[in-house]
Amino acid sequence: MKKLVIAAAFLGLSTQVAHATKARLIALGQDKDGSLFLDDNRNAFRNASFVSNYSNMAFFDYGATGNAIGLDTDTAQKAEGGVFVKHGALTYGVYLGNENDTGVLLKSLVATTAGSMPQSDNVLELSVAGSAGINWGVTLGWAPTKDEQGAAEKENKSLYTRIGVNKNNWEAYANVSIQGESDNKITSEKYDGGGAYDVGGSYQMGDMTAYARYKTVEWDQIASGVKTKGDYKEMKLGVGHDHEVSATSKIIYEVVYDSAEANLKYATNPTKGKYWQIPLIVGFESSANSWLTLRGSISQSLIGNVDTKNIGSIANATNQAVIAARFNAPAQNNYKGSLKNTTNVNA
């Protein structure tokens, strides 16, 4: 696995088997903030009602600390971790360092030079979950950070909530960004993206699960003294099959309609990135013994299309490459065509 992760029992109280958090999801071709059809403790960071499923547990994801790296990615992780503890009928959670990938991506597009926009570092999340006919959970997260080193003066203000419910074979959730401001007062760069939404749900039928997820963000940004509006939308409609081959092994299959679109409405040469695809994901997981699990997956888009325009209008070459890669397009100003080279293996 690309990443060493430990999920350990908290104070010796838990008898649950914890998964290898982000590393497991990445290996099985899933989003690292949780799967909509696989059971995994990272699902608590997508749907807050799953916090109670992993009570009396501590979780640690090892990665760079302090200012060693700027962003959290699959290949350059930042440290994070926390605990979920049950007290009476409720489960309480404290978690540190959980960054939002979409927010990181959109803020970076404002930067006239790589790294000039402050991100949501030092994130603190507090959760509570319980049951009242249905399982429910609420998480509140915030990340107020300020940097006044040397001539720089950067400030970030992030506040968000996650609300979710689940019962038996279904779940639903809504995650809302209440405040999302990032400001570099020296370069006069600013991002204001409060009001982002991430909603979704799933319904399980035996080993098969159907799911839907929709994200949307609208923001204002200022770069080089010019104010620009932007928007981002992402949708997934899929079906996943979790098939047990034996008591220690399983095979997963997933087919999903995946689409995303981003617009930066510059007065001249507005930037647009858009794609849709239908990937097939096949994964395998087997427990060799109590301390070793083997897992991996292969994925490929069966069909798909990408359309990008005026990528060169984005402030710097680094960010141009980032947005092109997000939409599976070559790093060039304009591109339109079918998706290519989509076969990917994770382990």
pLDDT tens digit sequence for 171-186: 999 999 999 888 888 8
Q: Name the residue among 202, 203, 197, 230 with its Cα closest to residue 216.
A: 197
Q: Return the percentage of the chain with pLDDT > 90, whole number.
A: 58
**Confidence band for 240, pLDDT divided at 50, 70 and 90:** very high
Please say if the pLDDT value at position 283 is more than 90. yes
pLDDT tens digit sequence for 24-48: 999 999 998 899 999 999 999 999 9
Please say if the pLDDT value at position 7 is more than 90. no
Please say if the pLDDT value at position 149 is more than 60. yes
pLDDT tens digit sequence for 95-107: 999 988 777 778 7
Please say if the pLDDT value at position 9 is more than 50. no
Helix (H, G, I), strand (E, B) or coil at 200: strand
Please say if the pLDDT value at position 328 is more than 50. yes
Domains of the chain: 5-346 (2.40.160)
Per residue, what are the HEC states of 143-155?
A: CCEEECCCCCCEE
Residues pairing with 273 in the sheet: 262, 308
Average pLDDT of the chain to the nearest whole number:
86
Please say if the pLDDT value at position 88 is more than 70. yes
Please say if the pLDDT value at position 12 is more than 70. no
**Confidence band for 14, pLDDT divided at 50, 70 and 90:** very low
d(CA 158, CA 179): 5
So what's the pLDDT on residue 202? 98
So what's the pLDDT on residue 17? 45
Please say if the pLDDT value at position 5 is more than 50. no
Residues pairing with 250 in the sheet: 244, 285
**Confidence band for 72, pLDDT divided at 50, 70 and 90:** low
So what's the pLDDT on residue 170? 97
Please say if the pLDDT value at position 197 is more than 50. yes
So what's the pLDDT on residue 84? 98
Please say if the pLDDT value at position 69 is more than 80. no
Phi and psi for 156 in degrees, rounded to 5? -130, 135
d(CA 165, CA 174): 9
The better pLDDT of the pair 37, 331 is held by 37
- The DSSP annotation for 233-246 comes to EEEEEEEEEEEESS
Q: Is 143 exposed, middle or buried (0-12, 13-18, 19+ CB in 10 A)?
A: buried
- In which residue are the tokens 């923001």 written? 219
So what's the pLDDT on residue 318? 74
So what's the pLDDT on residue 19? 55
**Confidence band for 121, pLDDT divided at 50, 70 and 90:** confident
- Least confident stretch, 149-163, 259-273, 275-289: 149-163
- Least confident stretch, 90-94, 106-110, 260-264, 290-294: 106-110
So what's the pLDDT on residue 76? 63
So what's the pLDDT on residue 218? 94
The better pLDDT of the pair 86, 289 is held by 86
